[in-house]
Amino acid sequence: MPRRARSARLTHLDARSRPTMVNVGAKLVTHRIAEAEARVRVPPAVARALRRSGHRTRKGPVFDTAIVAGVMAAKRTSELIPFCHPLALEQCRIDIGFAPGASAAVIVVRCRVEVRHKTGVEMEALTGATVAALTIYDMCKALSHDIRIASVRLLSKSGGKRAVGARARASRAA
């Protein structure tokens, strides 16, 4: 049986449809986890050059620099996105590598963020993955401008009112 769609309500609008920050004062503190992914498509020649050089360009270590940039961005998400609450992240892990298989010219960036708080961390995970992907573009653009950040998406989130992704499917199956 298909699930009934929730009534659509934008949480960042007040009764007069003006932008507002969500009041999280009455929410419970829970362990919140979110994971996001960005995919960066590079030309095969750029992928070969990165592999041969140990993921370095003249600008320096590409993946390591992207990891640092992504973590820094995740920690500062509330300064970039107006209605995000400032959070003291407990964990931010960014993993970067080439996708396996025939699409070996795709770099996969994953950002996993954790916090114990009253509000979720999906925006922090998305920001971390996105800025890491942008850093890869910046550090490789001298090799080619034919680089595309092909997708950015939320993979999962848990600990709040609604779970999304693998964690949600696991809890529904139990």
Q: DSSP for 64-93?
A: HHHHHHHHHHHHTHHHHSTTPPP---SEEE
| pLDDT > 70 in the chain, percent | 80
Tokens 């959070």 sit on residue: 87
pLDDT attached to residue 15? 67
- The answer for residues whose C-beta is within 8 angstroms of residue 93's C-beta and 6 or more apart is 111, 112, 113
Q: Which residues are catalytic?
A: 138
Q: What is the mean pLDDT of residues 104-132?
A: 94
- CA Rg value for the chain: 18
Task: Give the bridge partners for 56, in sequence order.
Answer: 61
pLDDT, one tens digit per residue, over 56-84 is 999 999 999 999 999 999 999 999 988 88
pLDDT, one tens digit per residue, over 140-174 is 999 999 999 999 999 999 988 778 886 555 544 54
Of 87 and 11, the one with more pLDDT: 87
- Domains annotated for the chain, with CATH where assigned, are 30-157 (3.30.70.640)
